[in-house]
Structure 1
């Protein structure tokens, strides 16, 4: 699914950047070789960036 229409970034490409170590939206754009254009996708990218940390915190609390 496309997350960023301006740069043609899909969720899988963004997730690959996150898996490679991107920790900020700027890092995601840089890893994909682009920059934010209109900014509509930044909230979604932030959500993807925060999702793994939230999942890890939830599983750590259950132990």
Structure 2
């Protein structure tokens, strides 16, 4: 789906930029042009970046097993 119509940037391109280390919308704009024209897409782009990185940093607690002494 297109997130930035003005510059033709898709959600897949934003996720790819996030996978390559992009964390801020300003950096995303430099890499892809997303948000550089009218800026109406920046909230959605920021949400996609946040969503991507939140999924990557999610921790899962493992049960502790007591050692047999």
Specify the alignment match of 2:10 in structure 1: 10
The Cα shift of 1:29 comes to 1.6
Distance 1:14 1:30 in 2: 12
TM-fit CA distance, 1:56: 4.6
Where does the alignment leave 5 or more consecutive residues of structure 2 unmatched? Answer: 62-69
**Aligned: 1:30 with 2:68:** no
Q: Give TM-score scaled by structure 1 length.
A: 0.78
Deviations 1:12-34 (A, max 9, x none): 111111111111001112112x2
Ranges in structure 1 where 5+ consecutive residues have no aligned partner: none
Q: Give the number of aligned pairs.
A: 60
Q: CA RMSD in A?
A: 1.7
Larger Rg: 2
Please identify runs of 4+ aligned residues in structure 1 that moved more than 4 A.
Answer: none
Output the CA distance in 1 between the equivalents of 2:56 and 2:8: 29
